[in-house]
């Protein structure tokens, strides 16, 4: 299985993979109570993240068949992530609708407030298309980023709201560092992995 960089021509398909993979995620079930709006809203939201944040400032990767997506922000751009996300507020409003907007805004702000101060590689999203799960796609995508982090000596940080994902990340060297209480949504686990020195 080959891991490659996402390109602008992949954006529409990648946003669809993410929307399908996150359709039952606790956070997005909470933010998008209506199922039809959830899929449409997630596509809008992640299309913007890909075009405005991850492709120009991050590391966006997929497999050769675009079965999953990993979105990373390197340490030199993590500090600017918060204000770059604020530029996408109109997109978030369009995606979730006015009833859910302030809930989404406050929940997303809680993630920012919990973010570690030290420089690190941030895994913003790791998703696998539902039909490709269990085939090692997620492991291949995360290994690519973790290998980069180890070469550079970077710690890696992420958040997850799904308990089964905690065990997956622990198998890849992460440990839980705390619980992020969202004002309206489900609590999330903050997880950190220290770089491995192979020298």
Q: What is the pLDDT of residues 114-137, one digit of tens each?
A: 999 889 999 999 999 999 988 999
Residue 184: its pLDDT value, please? 86
- Cβ count near 14 (within 10 Å): 26
Q: 3-193 belongs to which homologous superfamily?
A: Gcn5-related N-acetyltransferase (GNAT) (3.40.630.30)
Report the distance separating Cα 199 and Cα 37, nearest Å: 50
Parse the chain into domains and list their residue ranges: 3-193
Q: Can you give the pTM of this predicted structure?
A: 0.93
Residue with tokens 């993240």: 49
CA-nearest of 42, 17, 144 to 97 is: 42
Q: Which residues of the chain have pLDDT under 70?
A: 80-83, 198-199
């Amino acid at each position: 299985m080959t891991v490659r960089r996402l390109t602008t021509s992949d954006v529409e398909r990648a946003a669809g993979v993410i929307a399908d993979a996150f359709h039952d995620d606790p956070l997005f079930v909470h933010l998008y109570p209506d199922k039809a709006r959830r899929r449409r809203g997630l596509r809008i939201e992640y299309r913007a993240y890909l075009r405005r944040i991850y492709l120009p400032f991050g590391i966006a990767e997929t497999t050769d068949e675009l079965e999953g997506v990993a979105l990373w922000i390197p340490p030199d751009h993590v500090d600017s992530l918060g204000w770059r996300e604020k530029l996408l507020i109109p997109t978030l409003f369009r995606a979730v609708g006015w009833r859910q907007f302030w809930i989404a805004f406050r929940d997303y702000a809680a993630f920012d407030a919990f973010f570690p101060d030290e420089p690190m590689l941030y895994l913003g999203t790791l998703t696998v298309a539902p039909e490709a799960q269990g085939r090692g796609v997620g492991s291949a995508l995360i290994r690519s980023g973790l290998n980069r982090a180890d070469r550079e000596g970077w710690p890696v940080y992420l958040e997850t709201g799904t308990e089964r994902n905690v065990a997956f990340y622990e198998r890849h060297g992460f440990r839980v560092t705390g619980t992020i209480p969202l004002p309206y949504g489900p609590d999330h686990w903050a997880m950190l992995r220290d770089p491995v020195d192979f020298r």
